């Protein structure tokens, strides 16, 4: 009988050890390496989700750091280290904590026209040239691929497609091209060939800018953030390296309603003056210098303040920025990119008008408890009422880097 009890006790102990080890490993991946909290949350109120009821934290101040930020009302930021414990006993992870005062931005929601200039000339694709005797592509033969960036031809910096066309037309023999593929510098030697009309060509499709409609997320007197995800080239799928550009006022003139398997879109036109200059295009959105002078201020919700409960999204479907009912149904607190939360549209009026989330809504602010929590970034193709959102904290961090 005693042996049986000992076996049961040993089994229970083994289950407990396995549970705590597995739980600690899972939690260590779901808890971010760093977090920003408000002063009122010092003392463990900020404990990250999930399973916060199993976690506790011991905080140790490390230094006092002062810096200025366009988004902060008071720029004092105290840094701390915190160790997260499972069941108050087992250390799970160390987290760097920044204790900040209230951060406020102007909330967006308005449709904007985006004209992004590429950094150099983007190769969208290659094509065959009918020379009269054969079909060939000198660009393809030289090893040029869609997504490549051309920055110089015969040593001359190129920034427009018209400039490239002129250099090809005036060429005598081979051209020396240089540029990049991903993070790697690369060069090519290409000799143009003449089509049946005698026009010199390289056999590639190129572009020097990308334009479209999106939604402004936030702005200040000096900066803005929009989209919440990078602008990618429609042909290559690669995100466009920014070489400048502008954002403009835009008007929504119609909606292609989304349905299962078919994403919808907002139909819009550029309708007004330039309101900002683009300085960066990255995983967390499009950022730049704001020319907007007034707006509605709203406090920022840090990741740890955001809950899986009711929220709103702010977007323009034709009548200017409006708030529509939504829910945050899942949080991914360790995310540093554009997929930090899963949201669901619950507003019948928005669903009736658009089907849910559609292209052009990217960047629409997500609001919870009268604070800006993030922005809409993606739609689930098989359920347009649901999609991903980015944490506003991630967008603000990228905005600071780009500045």
Half-sphere CA count of 10, side-chain side, radius 13 A:
6
Q: What is the largest CA-CA distance in the chain?
A: 99
Burial 356-395 (b: 16+ CB within 10 A, else e): bbbbbbbbbbbbbeebbbbbbbbbbeebbbbbbbbbbbbb
Supply φ then ψ for residue 3, to 5 degrees: -65, -40
The set of catalytic residues is 229, 347, 362
- Cα separation, 78 vs 97, in Å, equals 8
Cα Rg of the chain, angstroms: 26
Decide: 350 and 324 in contact? Cβ < 8 Å: yes
Predicted structure pTM score: 0.76
- Cα separation, 206 vs 352, in Å, equals 39
Q: For the chain, percent helix, then strand, then coil, each to nearest 5?
A: 15, 50, 35
Six token digits for residue 18: 């396995």
- Cα separation, 263 vs 279, in Å, equals 29
Separation of CA 161 from chain center = 28
pLDDT per residue of the chain (403 residues) written in tens, 0 to 9: 555 666 666 556 656 555 555 555 555 556 667 666 665 555 555 555 555 544 555 555 544 333 333 233 233 456 667 676 666 666 777 777 666 667 889 999 999 999 999 989 999 999 999 998 899 999 999 999 998 999 999 999 999 999 999 999 999 989 999 999 988 999 999 999 999 999 999 999 999 998 999 999 999 888 999 999 999 887 777 788 888 999 999 999 999 999 998 989 999 999 888 999 999 999 999 999 998 878 889 999 988 789 999 999 999 999 999 999 999 999 987 788 899 999 999 999 999 999 999 999 999 999 999 999 999 999 999 999 999 999 999 999 888 876 6
């Amino acid at each position: 009988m005693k042996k049986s009890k000992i076996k049961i006790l040993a089994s229970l102990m083994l289950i407990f050890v396995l549970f705590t080890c597995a739980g600690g490993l899972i939690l260590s991946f779901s808890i971010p390496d760093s977090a920003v909290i408000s002063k009122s949350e010092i003392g463990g109120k900020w404990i990250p989700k999930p399973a916060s009821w199993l976690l506790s934290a011991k905080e140790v101040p490390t230094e006092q750091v002062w810096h200025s930020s366009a988004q902060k009302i008071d720029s004092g930021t105290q840094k701390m280290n915190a160790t997260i414990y499972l069941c108050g006993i087992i250390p799970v992870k160390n987290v760097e904590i920044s204790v900040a005062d209230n951060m406020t931005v102007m909330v967006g929601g308005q449709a904007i026209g985006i004209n992004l200039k590429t950094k150099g000339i983007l190769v969208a694709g290659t094509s065959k040239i009918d020379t009269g005797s054969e079909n060939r592509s000198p660009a393809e033969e030289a090893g040029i691929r869609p997504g490549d960036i051309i920055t110089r031809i015969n040593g001359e910096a190129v920034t427009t497609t018209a400039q490239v066309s002129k250099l090809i037309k005036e060429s005598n023999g081979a051209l020396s091209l240089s540029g990049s593929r991903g993070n790697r510098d690369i060069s090519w030697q290409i000799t143009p060939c003449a089509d049946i009309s005698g026009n010199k060509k390289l056999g590639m499709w190129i572009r020097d800018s990308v334009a479209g409609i999106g939604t402004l997320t936030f702005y200040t007197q000096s900066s803005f953030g929009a989209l919440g995800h990078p602008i990618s080239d429609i042909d290559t799928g690669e995100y466009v390296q920014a070489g400048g550009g502008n954002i403009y006022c835009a008007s929504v003139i119609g909606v292609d309603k989304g349905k299962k398997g078919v994403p919808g879109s907002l139909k819009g036109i550029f309708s007004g003056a330039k309101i900002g200059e683009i300085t960066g295009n990255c995983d967390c959105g499009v950022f730049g210098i704001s020319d907007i002078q007034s707006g509605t201020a709203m406090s920022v919700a840090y990741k740890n303040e955001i809950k899986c409960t009711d929220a709103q999204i702010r977007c323009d479907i034709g009548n200017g920025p409006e708030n529509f009912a939504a829910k945050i149904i899942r949080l991914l607190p360790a995310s540093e990119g554009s997929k930090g939360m899963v949201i669901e549209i619950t507003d019948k009026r928005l669903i009736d008008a658009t089907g849910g989330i559609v292209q052009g809504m990217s960047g629409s602010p997500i609001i919870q408890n009268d604070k800006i929590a993030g922005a809409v970034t993606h739609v689930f193709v098989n359920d347009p009422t649901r999609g991903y959102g980015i944490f506003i904290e991630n967008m603000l961090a990228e905005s600071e880097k780009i500045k």
